Structure 1
Amino acid sequence: MAYQIPRGTYDILPGEVEKWQWVEEQMRHACRLFHYEEVRTPMFEQTELYKRGVGETTDIVEKEMYSFSDRGNRQLTLRPEGTAGMVRSFVEHKIYGQPQPTKWYYIGPMFRYERPQAGRSRQFHQFGIEAFGSMDPALDAEVIALGMHLFQSLGLEGVRVELNSVGDAESRARYREKLIQYFEPYKDELSPEAQSRLYKNPLRILDSKDARTKEIASAAPSLFDDLSEDSKMHLDRVKQYLDEMGVHYVINDRLVRGLDYYTQTAFEYMLDLKGAQASTIGGGGRYNGLVKEIGGDDVPGVGFGIGIERVMLALEEQQIQVPNQNRLDGYLITMGEQAKAAGMKVLQSLREAGFQVDRDYLDRKMKAQFKAADRARARYVFILGEEEIAENKIKVKSMATQSQEEVSLSNLLDWLKEKA
């Protein structure tokens, strides 16, 4: 029986994985510039964490989680998003008792059971940042700016920020009643999913993908009309700071995001992608009540998540060339057993000095070994035979110029350092 990879997952093979490594390094570099530190949380958590943290009426909790019972009959779930686990870690380790703010980031796989399509898989990868401990709208602006800095460092063009405020608890309570009153006359025309959310969480209806429901929701009241003065002031400050930082944005008063924990600022990074159902490549916002909901002190937070698959798709569509960091400095060709043994010593000394080198392990003829060196994009080919060993020399051929010279074996490392 030939085994096949599960639907909605994929292998990232050499040739492609180097692009991922480069993108991830750009993410880590951006976080270093903004002073965010990496945290690695488990790939599964207690199911209740996501129900409480993400929201029981969200698509994630209702339809998309990979949940299971372990042998101790504990209810566990593969992480569908990164924030809830980061908040759990912040609370469990009592980081809220340390000087604030706390600025963290994560990179890793997430899992959601949904229909696979371009830029959307059942195992997907996400880069996210979380900043705890400050209500300052300048922190919201910094978070948004970090994402835009990343996209610029990757060379992506056309990324835009859509910005909104989903208000505080009092604002949303007033708005909730208005939405119920608005949608009730259309109840029978709403999708079954929207009908089930009408009295539980009507804001979720604004995020519906159903065509008729979207049409009805397009004329719904705006949350802007019910924002408290504090919420309006917070949003105005975020806009002011973004203006100062040169980060362009547009206001979208229909933007609510797909998770229940957001308060005040909400935003999305948008970029049109061919074949993708949605143009969102990332987004986030404030979640001022989430730390308390998960069992910690009443500590505010703000952050985002960016889908790495969608970033990779965008890089491909815009034909952005990713630096190839896997080019060999040298490829060793040996002739004879004595040279083969001596060659192992040569390779080891070069690798210990930090050079990327390889050799043939199939005992192929010299012509085939040269082809292998060419495929590996080696800068130099080192040729070592019985004659070279006797003279304590090694032949070095430049693959770029095809010129060849002899170098003392004892001086090879210094010669290569000079050429580096």
Structure 2
Amino acid sequence: MANQKIQAPKGVSEYFPDRSRLFEHVRDSLIAPAKKSGYQLIELPVFEDTDLFRRGVGESTDVVSKEMYTFEDRGGRSITLRPEGTAGVMRAVIEHGLDRGQLPVKLWYSGQFFRAERPQAGRYRQFYQVGIEAIGLDDPAIDAEVIAIADAGFKSLGLSKYRLEMTSLGDASSRSAHRVDLLNFISGLNLDEATAERARINPLRLFDDKREEMKKAMQKAPLLMDYLSSESSEHFKKVLGYLDRLNVSYVLNPRMVRGLDYYTGTTFEFVHELLGAQSGIGGGGRYDGLMQDLGGQALSGIGFGLGVDRVLLAAEAEGVISQEAFVSDLFIIPLGEEAKQMALTIAHDLRGQGKVVEIAFGDRGLKGSMKAADKTGATHTIVLGESELSSLTVDLKHMKTGKSSSVKIASLHQHL
């Protein structure tokens, strides 16, 4: 019907005032350590050629086989809304020749991603991530830096109830040796047709199966960590040594494989203890063959993706984030046209000095404007009337204490 309200699609995460302030703070805090480490922004399309994700993410993954939003455009091309960030970054690096310059290529991104999942708390069909990629060098120190950047983002928000889980998925020779014994073990299991097909494409996927019967069946399966080549083992030991040096705590989880097929070598996940079933707040790893699989050079890379939605839920669960941290420094109440002109000038000047300033618009009375000031949570208010305009002096009221002090308009910045 024409007058019927239209609602957002089921399973999307939306942020509007006042909670959008918290979302923005979390997103910016997570990416700030990357900026300080020399990573540069890359802005990418939210849809790509479907083949990018089939080849890059892996046919055996739930992401590709069950969760992608795929459609045919008007030109008959198969297009998919991006379910993750790394494949798109790698496509852009190859297409624009970024790998032909200074290495490593260090990039950060943020934005919406899409997966056709069953919506629940912390699990959305449209979700937000920030991520980084370091492409071009196979150096254990880069692995440690990438992990430390993620850890620094969480710590900057005050998070403490999380753990970093680490493993290594080894190099090609490690995985080849492990695959023989793993397939032999799996051949003795009674698998349904879909699970058997996933195991045929990538037997490691069975470690990622969330069904209790599969967890029990895989309990005695051979672990890849026990098959690492001397090179892979040495690389992983160095990564852990660097993390020790950086005071980044971790635990080993040899059963972790994560949900994307491109991971090799160093692999990690951050898990928060207060989020229940959807406890993963971020993770990543090394992807040594991905660039070549997508038509580029045989260059190594490592990166992470951090879930902004879940990190916000984690910060709220820990009680380390609140609306009080995101209020205006000053709320100006002008009484009359001349006062409104002065209010605009004062606000403009103070904003130029880094202050957050709001004005009571709409020619409301003093009582209504004071109620508005109270609702914004502004730390200070001033009223501009005839006497204030003539004396160029205002009573600066501290909203929490109710105390006021006489301040010259020209020196307001010093008192906020």
> Shared topology, TM-score over 0.5?
yes
User: Secondary structure of the residue that 1:186 maps to in structure 2?
Assistant: coil
CA RMSD of aligned residues (A): 2.2
Any idea what the Cα deviations from partners look like across 1:380-417, whole Å, max 9, x if unmatched? 3332335555x35454341345455666xxx62x2212
For 1:33, the equivalent position in structure 2 comes to 36
For 1:235, the equivalent position in structure 2 comes to 236
Letter in 2 for 1:260: D
Q: Cα–Cα, structure 1 residues 394 and 241, in superposed 2: closer, same or farther, change >3 Å?
A: closer
Letter in 1 for 2:312: M
Letter in 2 for 1:108: G
Asked if 1:382 corresponds to 2:385, the answer is no
Instruction: State whether residues 107 and 125 of structure 1, in contact with CA within 8 Å, keep that contact through their aligned partners in structure 2.
Output: yes
Q: Distance in 2 between matches of 1:35 and 1:340?
A: 44
After TM superposition, the structure 1 = structure 2 runs for residues 370-409 of structure 1, keeping only pairs within 5 Å, are 370-386=370-386, 388-389=388-389, 391=390, 393=392, 395-400=394-399, 402-404=402-404
Letter in 1 for 2:201: K
Instruction: State whether residues 18 and 324 of structure 1, in contact with CA within 8 Å, keep that contact through their aligned partners in structure 2.
Output: no
Any idea what the Cα deviations from partners look like across 1:269-294, whole Å, max 9, x if unmatched? 122234x3243221111101101111
Q: Distance in 1 between matches of 2:278 and 2:353?
A: 48
Asked if 1:75 corresponds to 2:74, the answer is no
Residue in structure 2 matching 1:150, options 150, 153, 160: 153
Q: Cα–Cα, structure 1 residues 252 and 327, in superposed 2: closer, same or farther, change >3 Å?
A: closer
Q: Distance in 2 between matches of 1:352 and 1:242?
A: 41
User: Secondary structure of the residue that 1:370 maps to in structure 2?
Assistant: helix
Q: Distance in 1 between matches of 2:234 and 2:406?
A: 73
Q: Count residues with an aligned counterpart.
A: 412
For 2:98, the equivalent position in structure 1 comes to 95
Instruction: State whether residues 166 and 269 of structure 2, in contact with CA within 8 Å, keep that contact through their aligned partners in structure 1.
Output: yes
Instruction: State whether residues 191 and 213 of structure 1, in contact with CA within 8 Å, keep that contact through their aligned partners in structure 2.
Output: no
In the superposition, the TM-score normalised over structure 2's length comes to 0.92
Any idea what the Cα deviations from partners look like across 1:236-280, whole Å, max 9, x if unmatched? 222222222222222222111111111111111122234x32432
Instruction: State whether residues 336 and 385 of structure 2, in contact with CA within 8 Å, keep that contact through their aligned partners in structure 1.
Output: yes
Instruction: State whether residues 31 and 130 of structure 2, in contact with CA within 8 Å, keep that contact through their aligned partners in structure 1.
Output: no
Q: Distance in 2 between matches of 1:112 and 1:55?
A: 15
Q: CA deviation at 1:344?
A: 4.1
Asked if 1:130 corresponds to 2:148, the answer is no
Instruction: State whether residues 132 and 304 of structure 2, in contact with CA within 8 Å, keep that contact through their aligned partners in structure 1.
Output: yes
After TM superposition, the structure 1 = structure 2 runs for residues 336-355 of structure 1, keeping only pairs within 5 Å, are 336-341=336-341, 343-355=343-355
Instruction: State whether residues 164 and 266 of structure 1, in contact with CA within 8 Å, keep that contact through their aligned partners in structure 2.
Output: yes
Letter in 1 for 2:397: S
User: Secondary structure of the residue that 2:303 maps to in structure 1?
Assistant: strand
For 1:415, the equivalent position in structure 2 comes to 411
Instruction: State whether residues 383 and 394 of structure 1, in contact with CA within 8 Å, keep that contact through their aligned partners in structure 2.
Output: no
Give the stretch that moved more between structures: 343-352 or 205-214. Answer: 343-352
For 2:307, the equivalent position in structure 1 comes to 307
Asked if 1:360 corresponds to 2:356, the answer is no
Any idea what the Cα deviations from partners look like across 1:185-240, whole Å, max 9, x if unmatched? 213xx354322213221111111011111111111112133322221222222222
Instruction: State whether residues 23 and 154 of structure 1, in contact with CA within 8 Å, keep that contact through their aligned partners in structure 2.
Output: yes
Structure 1: unaligned runs, 5 residues or longer? none
Instruction: State whether residues 330 and 356 of structure 1, in contact with CA within 8 Å, keep that contact through their aligned partners in structure 2.
Output: yes
For 2:298, the equivalent position in structure 1 comes to 298
In the superposition, the TM-score normalised over structure 1's length comes to 0.91
For 1:111, the equivalent position in structure 2 comes to 114
User: Secondary structure of the residue that 1:283 maps to in structure 2?
Assistant: strand
Q: Cα–Cα, structure 1 residues 252 and 328, in superposed 2: closer, same or farther, change >3 Å?
A: closer
Q: CA deviation at 1:104?
A: 1.4
Q: Distance in 1 between matches of 2:267 and 2:344?
A: 57
Instruction: State whether residues 159 and 270 of structure 1, in contact with CA within 8 Å, keep that contact through their aligned partners in structure 2.
Output: yes
Any idea what the Cα deviations from partners look like across 1:298-351, whole Å, max 9, x if unmatched? 110011111111111111111113474542233232334454455444444444
User: Secondary structure of the residue that 1:362 maps to in structure 2?
Assistant: coil
Q: Distance in 2 between matches of 1:8 and 1:75?
A: 24
Q: Cα–Cα, structure 1 residues 245 and 348, in superposed 2: closer, same or farther, change >3 Å?
A: closer
Q: Distance in 2 between matches of 1:405 and 1:184?
A: 80
Q: CA deviation at 1:39?
A: 1.5
User: Secondary structure of the residue that 1:358 maps to in structure 2?
Assistant: strand
Letter in 1 for 2:385: G
User: Secondary structure of the residue that 1:235 maps to in structure 2?
Assistant: helix
User: Secondary structure of the residue that 1:303 maps to in structure 2?
Assistant: strand
User: Secondary structure of the residue that 2:189 maps to in structure 1?
Assistant: helix
For 1:51, the equivalent position in structure 2 comes to 54
Structure 2: unaligned runs, 5 residues or longer? none
Q: Distance in 1 between matches of 2:244 and 2:402?
A: 55
Instruction: State whether residues 287 and 302 of structure 1, in contact with CA within 8 Å, keep that contact through their aligned partners in structure 2.
Output: yes
Q: Distance in 2 between matches of 1:361 and 1:177?
A: 72
Letter in 1 for 2:287: Y
Q: Distance in 2 between matches of 1:34 and 1:323?
A: 29
Q: Cα–Cα, structure 1 residues 191 and 141, in superposed 2: closer, same or farther, change >3 Å?
A: farther
Q: Distance in 2 between matches of 1:285 and 1:48?
A: 22
Q: Cα–Cα, structure 1 residues 336 and 159, in superposed 2: closer, same or farther, change >3 Å?
A: closer
Q: Distance in 1 between matches of 2:23 and 2:370?
A: 29
For 1:316, the equivalent position in structure 2 comes to 316
